[in-house]
Chain A
Amino acid sequence: MNMAAYVAVIGTKDNPVYELEMGGGTEKQDKGLGAHLNQFIVHASLDLVEQVQWTSNAFYVRSIDQFHEMYVSAYITPSNMKFMLLHQAQSSDSIKTFFQELHELYIKTIMSPFYQPNEPIKSQAFDLKVRSLARKLL
């Protein structure tokens, strides 16, 4: 069940910390704009995330935005890192599990003394793990 998805981890200053694209075949229509479109959509929904974060104290904020047929879901950590997922209307349980696992992976990354929070995550191991998570759950 691997539909197209775009995962982004956004830091406290709206800086991208990590991005991952799992493409489906049908996304190739707007070739020039393809990858950037995902980033635009996620960036635009950051405002909504900020609005929503004061209303609930849960981590997983569900689906907050919609762009044509793509939905944006968000998960906010206590230290205000935002995990955003761009997807096409999937079951929110598996997305919630995905976010929780991503959160644990993120904390493991932070534990490293060589990594400062808010820096871009360049570790290949992290990338591989997120990919396998996405393949399994999304």
Chain B
Amino acid sequence: MSLVKPAMRGLLAKRLRFHLPIAFGLSLVAAAGFKYTVTEPRKQAYADFYKRYDSMKEFSAMREAGVFESVRPTGK
């Protein structure tokens, strides 16, 4: 009985045909996952923070705590 001749050519092409769509798909999934679990919440967190941010109030608080060198706390 004679054996079937094995595939001698196109092995890489066959592998790529199978694996490249998977690779692209997984990359897109990873990117989408990162976007919606990390970047969107982070953008929202920054938006929320600055919505209610009073920079003068924060500045005064920091000044009173004494962390600045250009302005002293109001007591001094």
B partners with A: no
